[in-house]
């Protein structure tokens, strides 16, 4: 039996989770012009969701600057490289917050 706090948490999280699942299930790529903005792509060397080459392919989807940052680790490499990734984001965005 779940407590009231568990039910409140589920009530907050489930709509977003359902929306994410719906987006994944219904997404269809539509070719269009390249982006005109900088793109920063982050990938872990052992990430099962996308290879470094697949993530690097984003370079062809922008006319702006492209930065690919590869870190050791899997999908959650962000958790183990937080400071390094924050530095990359700051340097790529020019320190904007």
Over residues 68-84, the mean pLDDT reads 77
Nearest to 60 by CA among 21, 95, 84, 32: 32
Model confidence at 17: pLDDT above 60: yes
pLDDT at 97: 46
Whole-number pLDDT of residue 47? 80
Residue 95's pLDDT is: 53
Q: Is 56's pLDDT higher than 50?
A: yes
Which ranges in 27-81 belong to alpha helices (H)? 52-56, 77-80
Structure-model confidence comparison of residues 60 and 93, the more confident one: 60
Domains of the chain and any CATH numbers: 4-93 (3.40.50.1820)
Give the rounded percent of residues in the chain with a pLDDT score beyond 90: 37
Phi, psi of 67 (to 5 degrees): -125, 125
């Amino acid at each position: 039996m779940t407590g009231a706090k568990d039910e409140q948490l589920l009530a907050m999280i489930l709509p977003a989770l359902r929306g994410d699942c719906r987006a994944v299930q219904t997404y269809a790529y539509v070719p269009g012009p390249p982006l005109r903005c900088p793109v920063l792509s982050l990938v872990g060397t052992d990430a099962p969701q996308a290879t470094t080459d697949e993530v690097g392919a984003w370079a062809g989807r922008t006319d702006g600057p492209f930065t690919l940052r590869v870190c050791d680790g899997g999908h959650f490499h962000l958790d183990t490289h937080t400071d390094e990734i924050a530095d990359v984001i700051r340097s790529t965005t020019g320190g904007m917050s």
